[in-house]
Chain A
Amino acid sequence: MAGAGIINTNQVVYRPRVVVVGLASCFGCQLQITNIESHLMELLGQIDLTYWQLASSDPMPQYFDVAIIEGAVTTQESVETVRTLRRKADTLIAIGACATTGGIPGMAGGSLGLADRAAEVYEKGSLPEACGEMCVPRPISSVVKVDAEVRCCPIDSYDFVKTLHRLVYGSNRAQLTSTLCGECKRNETTCFYAEGTLCLGLITRSGCGARCVNLGRPCNGCAGLSPDANVDSARDACVRYGVSVERFDKALEMFNQFELDAVLEQEQAQKAQDKDEATTNQASSEADASDTGSRG
C-alpha cells in the first residue's frame, strides 16, 4: 500500500485514503464499524476516510488506496463495481460473511434457479427493472483478488480494527485456519453433540472465540468452512451422536452455499473427466487387447 507501513511521528504521516462500499447485505458490518464508538475517532485519525455513503454525503473520489467492501455480489452491476474498485485500490478488504463467503444471500443460489426464486417473491414476469441484472450470489474473492478478509456475521468490530492496523502498519501474523472446536476446548464449554444437538463448530473456521456457544447457542457457521474442515468426518460424528445428517447438510448451506455449489461442480467435472478417461482407457485397453491378440 502506498505510503503505509512506516509511521514516523515526527513527520507528516501519510494516511491511506479509504472508501467503504456496500453491496447486497444487511449493512450490519458497516454498522459494526460505527459501533466502535470509543475508538471511532482514533481509527478515523489513522486513515483518510474519503467515501462512506452510510455516514457522509461526500461523493466517491477518483483516487484512493484502500477499498473496504461489505456484501455479496448479486448483480452484473456489482461485478463491475467490484472490478472498478480492484483496479483503483492498492488494497481490497472484504468484510463480513456476505463478502467473504456469499453468506446468507448466497443461499439464493443452489438447486432452485434464481429466476424461479425471483418469481416466488415478485409476481411472475414482473421483476422490477430496479433489481438490475441478477446473478448467482457470490463472494468478492470469486470476482477479483482480495487482500484481506474480516469474517463472521456480523464482523467483530475489533477484528476489523486489527485487520486495518495489520494493513496500515504491516504485520506477518498468519490467519487462523483451524476449526471452531478448538476454541470450545480452550473455553471448557460443554459440547452440544453430547446432548444430540447440531453445531457447525466441527467444520467452521475459528477466530470468533466461540461467541455463540459461550452464550448457550450452537455455531451456525458464519465464519465459513475452515480450510482444515473434514466434512465427511463431521457427518460421521452426526451419525454417532444421533444428529440428523440431512439437517447438518441443510445447515451447512446457510453460509457456504457458494462453496458447496463450487465443490459440487468440481466433483461433477471430475466425475465427467474420470468417465472420459475410463472410456479412453477402456478403449485403449481394448485396443491393447486386440494388439496383444494379434501378436499372440
Chain B
Amino acid sequence: MTKTAIHVDHIARIEGHGNVHLVIEDGQVKTCEMNVVEPARLFESMVKGRHFSEIPYIASRICGICSASHVVTDLLAIEHIFGIEVSERTKALRDLLVYGSYLQNHATHLFVFAAPDFVGHASVFPLADEAPDLFEQALALKALGNELCTKVGGRSVHPITAVVGGFTHEITADEYLDLAQKMEAMIPFAEATVDLFQSFEVPAIATEGDMLAMVAPDHYAVADARAARFLHAGIEFDPDDVEEHLEEYVVSHSAALFARVRETQQPYFTGALSRLNASWTQLSSQAKVASAKAGVRPPVKNPYFNNLAQAIELVDALEHCSTLCRLLAGEKGGIPGTSRPVSFDICAGKGVGFTEAPRGALFHELELDGEGRVVSASIMTPTAQNVANLEADMRQLAELLIGEGKDEESIRGEVEKLVRAYDPCLSCSVH
C-alpha cells in the first residue's frame, strides 16, 4: 500500500489561519480537510444586549478587507427592521463603498496573494524588480480602491461615515469628478489584468456544488437587491428566509461553521464566479467585452476561474464607480437630495441584511427589542459558506492529479493555488 499525506500548515497569502490535510492511499483520496484554525471571537454573542447604533461599528471588525460590506449589511438589517427608506444618494454611496472594497480586495487578492503562484515566487515583492510597470500599476489599482473607500467612508479600513439612515459626511463635487477620472484611467490596466489571468494555465476541474448570488432583474446587484438565488437548484429566496434555505453545521476540524443548501444538501460556491454566472448579461459594456474576449461566458464551473471573474469585476466596478461618481457630482441630472441620515423610530423586530461582499454572499440576521437592543444575531460570511465546497473541489483536484501521475510537490502546489482561487477570508469565516 502506498500512502501519501500532504499537509500544508498555515497556508500563506490568504487572509487568516488555515491548514490543508490530504491523505492519499493507493491512488485514492482518503481524507481531504480544510482545517480553519482561526481563533473564535464570538461576535454573535458579544453584540447581544448592545444598542443597534454600535452594531455596524462592531461588525465591521469581523474583517479588515470586507469591513465596508459588514457595515452596509448591518445597516440594511437595522433599516429593514425599523422600516427606514434611505435616499437615492445614500444608496449610491453605499454601492460606492461596496465597490471600493471590491477594488481593494480583488487587487490585493489577484496580485499580492494569487499572482506569485503563477510566476513562481513566494511573494509579490520580487515583481518590483522583474516587472516594475505591472507592480506599480497593481499597487496603484489597490491604492485607488483605498482612496475610494477613504473618500466615501472616511478611511480605507473600517468606514466611519456610514450610519443608520445615511452618511455623516460627503466629499465635494470636484472630488467626485477627480475620482471618476481616476477610475476611467484605470480601466485599461484592469482589462490587461483580465488578459494576464486568462493566460495562466489551470487544471480542468468543474465544481459539482451549487452557486449562490444576489440577483436583480436589471443590474449587476451588489448591495441593493433583496433576492438571492441558488443557480443550479433554481431556488430564489428573500434574505429574510435565509435560514430556510441555507443550513449551517459544525465540523470538528474547523472553527468555521460549514454550510449547504438545505433542500438539496449540496455544498455551494459564492463569490465573483457565482455573480458572473448569475448576472453576466448585466455586466458593464467594457467588462462584458473583456469577459467575452477571455472566453468567459456562463456557465463557468472551474473554481480557478474565480480569479478571472474577479479581474472582470474590476473592469465592471471601475466603470460603475465612474458613472456613480459623475452622477453624485451632479452630471446628467445627478442624484438630487442629500445623504444626511434620515430620522426614524426605533421598534422591535427581526430582519436580515444581505450584500455581495467581495468574496460572496453575506447575510446578517438581527433581532432587536423595543429599545433597539440586540436580542440575537447571526452572521453568515461567504468563506464559511464556501469551505465545504472547497473541500469537495480539492478532492476532485487531487484525484485528477493522481490520475495524471503528478508527484506530491505538484499536488501540494495546485491545492494551494485552488485554496487561493477561492480567496478565502478565514478571519471572516470564524467571527
Contact = CB atoms under 8 A, between A and B. Distances in A.
A154 interface: yes
Contacts of A116: 45
A108 B252 contact: no
A128 B143 contact: no
B67 interface: yes
A265 interface: no
A54 B146 CA distance: 18
Contacts of A216: 161, 168-169
Contact of B64 (A27, A40, A217, A250): A27
B39 A56 contact: no
A221 to B, nearest CB: 11
Contacts of A25: 64, 427
B112 interface: yes
B125 interface: yes
Interface residues of B, number: 62
A122 B143 CA distance: 38
Interface residues on A, range: 35 or more
Interface in B64-80: 64-65, 67
Contacts of A217: 154, 160-161, 163, 168-169
Interface stretch (A10-18, A29-37, A166-174): A29-37
B123 A55 contact: yes
B41 interface: yes
A37 B62 CA distance: 24
A70 to B, nearest CB: 9
Contacts of A117: 42, 45-46
B65 A35 contact: no
Interface stretch (B9-17, B233-241, B398-406): B9-17
A212 B160 contact: yes
A26 B62 contact: yes
Contacts of A250: 50-51
Nearest to A78: B39
A111 B63 CA distance: 25
Contact of A108 (B46, B158, B160, B416): B46
Nearest to A116: B45
Contact of B158 (A23, A54, A154): A154
Contact of B250 (A30, A54, A122, A212): A122
Interface string B112-126: 100010000011110
Contacts of B160: 211-212, 215, 217
A188 interface: no
Contacts of B155: 154, 211
Contacts of B40: 74, 118, 121-122, 131, 134
B337 to A, nearest CB: 18
B54 interface: yes
Given A35-B146, A55-B12, A153-B158, 17 more contacts: A24-B41, A26-B62, A26-B67, A35-B142, A53-B13, A104-B46, A118-B40, A120-B42, A120-B44, A120-B45, A121-B40, A130-B253, A130-B255, A132-B37, A211-B160, A215-B154, A247-B51
- Which 9 pairs between the two chains have the least Cβ-Cβ distance? A28-B64, A216-B168, A56-B123, A57-B12, A117-B45, A24-B39, A37-B143, A104-B61, A28-B157
13 contacts: A24-B39, A27-B64, A27-B65, A53-B12, A55-B112, A58-B12, A105-B41, A118-B42, A122-B250, A130-B35, A130-B37, A211-B160, A217-B154
Interface of A: 22-32, 34-35, 37-38, 40-41, 44, 52-58, 71, 74-75, 78, 103-105, 107-108, 112, 114, 116-118, 120-123, 126, 128-132, 134, 137, 153-154, 211-212, 215-217, 220, 247, 250-251, 254
